Amino acid sequence: MDSGPPEDASSFARSAAAYRAAALRDPRRFRFGYLAGDPASGARGAFVWFASPAEMFEFLATVEVDLLQFDDDDAARIRGSIRRIVGRPREALRVDRDRLSSSFEGWCEVLWLGSFADLCSRGGDVPTSVRIAFRRVGKLGEHAGPICDDEESAFVAFLCESLGEAGAAANG
């Protein structure tokens, strides 16, 4: 009896559960994260959060690749490419996001990566659009300024709630 498909389904289910767990982490404790999407459809995943850049990049090279369901040879090649680009970064922002996205050969795009503090305060398309969306949903205006201390808990809740809207890729 061929045990390939059930194992693949089980591997996908484990990866989907790991993705969901990372998306539900509190970014104030798990301070490094990324947001990926499908370049063909424009669909976005959820923000996923990690204790260190090393943990984040290992997740990209394993779970993110597993969720795309490549065959073994393609998955190994893509993992190797990601690990070569990442090397041993001390800081998430030092990794070239475009090169990292190119490792996925058009199947996935890393839209943002960095720290929770960066998401709360820095410029850029993704951080500013997320802060605007948060304030629009919370009826707090529509400015993209930094997240204030008194907004932080609501912002974290908004990021976790966006998991449901981020697409069902990690939910099976």
Predicted TM-score (pTM) of the model is 0.84
Distance CA 30, CA 51 (A): 4
**Residue ranges per structural domain of the chain:** 4-171
Q: What is the pLDDT of residue 163?
A: 62
Q: Kindly give the confidence (pLDDT) of every residue in the chain, 172 residues in length, as a single tens digit, with 9 standing for 90 and above.
A: 334 444 566 888 999 999 999 999 999 999 999 999 999 888 888 999 999 998 999 999 999 999 999 889 999 999 999 988 888 666 656 788 888 898 888 899 999 999 999 999 999 999 999 999 999 998 888 889 999 999 999 999 999 887 655 443 333 3
pLDDT, tens digit, 9 for 90 and up, residues 44-53: 889 999 999 9
**Helix/strand/coil for 113:** strand
DSSP H or E segment with residue 7: helix 4-23
**Helix/strand/coil for 136:** helix
